[in-house]
Structure 1
Amino acid sequence: MIKQLHSIFLALLVAIFCLVTAATAQESQVLTPSKDNTLIEDATGSLSNGQGTLLFVGRTNQPQDSIRRGVIAFDIAKNIPKGSKITSVTLTLTLQKSPGGNQSIELHKLLKDWGEGTSNHPGGRGDVSTLGDATWIHNLYDTQFWSNLGGDFSSRISGVTVVGDQGNYTWQSTEQMVKDVQDWLDNPDQNFGWLLLGNETESRTVKGFASRETIESSAQPRLTVISKQ
């Protein structure tokens, strides 16, 4: 009798352990961007860089129209099972051009959809905007406009990190980054990604990060999402 009770007790413990393990099992996914672009300060919206291999953030040393803002989005709903609970989010970018010393780069949730056209320039000056590009005044060139010059984004900082010399930099998981990605999973039609905001108060603070178009796959932006069912 005692042996039978012992066996039943062990079986119950195993069953409970399996249930708890299944309930708390977490899955990690590494995503590359679905689109990215650089918003190039220009009152006419004639410049963009949809297919450029670099995302520029900050301020160049041009005498005017020197502000640059990166925009980046990931297809969360395509890669994370519906109904999952997001528990951790980290963004890793590779800094390839860095003339401006240490600078803080913020993530802000974008509030309007935007596009990536065929414009392509190797530097921060940009190329002629093409159909569907995001520009300083257009979210979709040349028929749809931002409500605010330079993009419509939340004033709340989702994440921030300081970047300096060339290399990989990671925006560590924050409560707001987790909330943003959870919102994008639950409401895919509201997934507009993040805007990268740098130091725009001083010239020559611009940073050039590898975009999804870079031929080096290891340098492409990566979003690591940990979730559980």
Structure 2
Amino acid sequence: MPKIDNMLAILWMLRSGGKVTAQQISEKLEMNIRTVYRYIDTISTSGVPIISEPGHNGGYSLMNNFIEAPLFFDSEEQTSLVHAAVFAEEAGYYGGEALNRDIERFNYGRHFYDRALFNRPDTTGGADHELGAGLYKNSTTNNVVRSLLQFDMGSLPRGAKIMNAQLNLRLSSVWNDTATSVQLYETSNAWEENRATWNRRTLSSLWTNKGGDYTPTLLSSQTIGALDTAATEPPLFKWPIKAETVQKWMDTPSQNLGLMLKGSNETLATYKKFYSGDAGGMLNYSPKLTITYYPISRLGLECYWSYGSISNPYYRK
């Protein structure tokens, strides 16, 4: 059976509901168990959110809210649809709601949202290829850039205890090599990916403070300078997030309002860019939230069980 047929067969087994072990897949499809592991990794890398639970009674399963995207759009088509939906809704066009449903298809299987904010007040950027933080400056403009991210906690096992977490971003490009500190904060107001601008958090609601509302407590920061163009892949930067913060998001989803990425000195003329979830052909470089946790069934048995982790492109350990 060709490779693609084997991977589709595995996907159909996972869609049947419940957990499936590598051994069960191996026996059902009559293939070596090491081949099963390779296929699972390939499927996961392609964007299918597979949850891996090690140990006794472990196995593979899909996120409960996973739905296959019925259509595929390239980056230019996504951007066009986003702008068309905004125009249609503002103009009262009768097809606006249908366009909004189309846009929601972009998020099937993604389970996170991201957004660049530019201090050109009503510039939209929900389908931008890059996130950013800093100040872009030339003879005619000073453009401060910040970014928003939000990850869905629904795939974590109910009752799990978070041990640690971090945000992983891949540097895509820089404007001006000057080193600067890029800081991470919690967002303090709800926002919409395809509607948020420097002034607005949704189509009908303004930010309390222009540029986005965020809590004053710094989560973490990274100092970033020049881009190493000789590297074989984009540099990886990691922002640690306290376990209790992510635990709060999981236990009380209404408090998960996302993250704000911004430069510490927004008068310093340097601008750092990172791959977003809309970077075509760059799935491996999409933003990731890495979480390590104890499933509730293993609490109190930490010395005897390996840690649980989520295996998919957006939550990885």
Is the structural similarity TM-score above 0.5? yes
Percentage identity across aligned positions?
Answer: 27
Aligned partner (choices 248, 271, 274) of residue 209 of structure 1:
274
Matching residue within 114, 124, 138 for 2:191: 114
Q: Give the conservation status (yes or no) of the 8 Å contact 1:32–1:223.
A: no
- Decide whether aligned partners of structure 1 residues 173 and 56 sit closer, same or farther in structure 2, where only a CA change above 3 A counts: closer
CA distance in 2: counterparts of 1:33 and 1:170, whole angstroms: 21
- In structure 1, distance between residues paired with 2:111 and 2:224: 20
Please state which structure has a larger fraction of its residues in strand: 1
TM-score (normalizing by structure 2): 0.53
- Letter matched to residue 287 of structure 2: P
**1:39 is aligned to 2:117:** yes
Q: Show structure 1 runs of 5+ residues with no match.
A: 1-21, 23-30, 118-132
Q: Is the 8 A contact 1:109 1:180 kept in 2?
A: no
Alignment partners' CA distance in 1, 2:111 and 2:130? 13
Which structure has the highest helix share of the two?
2
Q: Distance in 1 between matches of 2:110 and 2:162?
A: 17
**Is 1:150–2:211 an aligned residue pair?**
yes
Structure 1 position 139 matched with structure 2 position 201: yes
- Deviation by residue 1:75-113 (Cα, 9 ceiling, x = unmatched): 01x121122111111211111111232221111000111
The question of whether the paired residues in 1 share the 8 Å contact of 2:219 and 2:240 is answered with no
Q: Which residue of 2 aligns with 1:185?
A: 250
Q: 1:139–1:145: 8 Å Cα contact kept in structure 2?
A: yes
- CA distance in 2 between partners of 1:32 and 1:90 (Å): 18
- C-alpha separation in 1, matches of 2:214 and 2:113: 17
2:150 counterpart (64, 67, 73): 73
Confirm whether residue 85 of structure 1 aligns to residue 155 of structure 2: no
The amino acid that maps onto 1:147 is: T
For 2:104, the equivalent position in structure 1 comes to none
Segments ≥4 residues shifted beyond 6 Å: none
User: Match of 2:198, SS?
Assistant: coil
Distance across 2 between alignment mates of 1:184 and 1:70: 19
One-letter amino acid of the counterpart of residue 119, structure 2: E
The amino acid that maps onto 2:218 is: I
**Cα offset, 1:32, TM superposition:** 6.1
Q: Tell me if the contact between 2:184 and 2:239 (Cα under 8 Å) persists in the aligned partners.
A: no
Deviation at 1:33, TM superposition (A): 5.5
**Structure 2 residue 291 is the aligned partner of structure 1 residue 225:** yes
**Using CA pairs below 8 Å that are at least 6 residues apart, which structure has the higher relative contact order?**
1
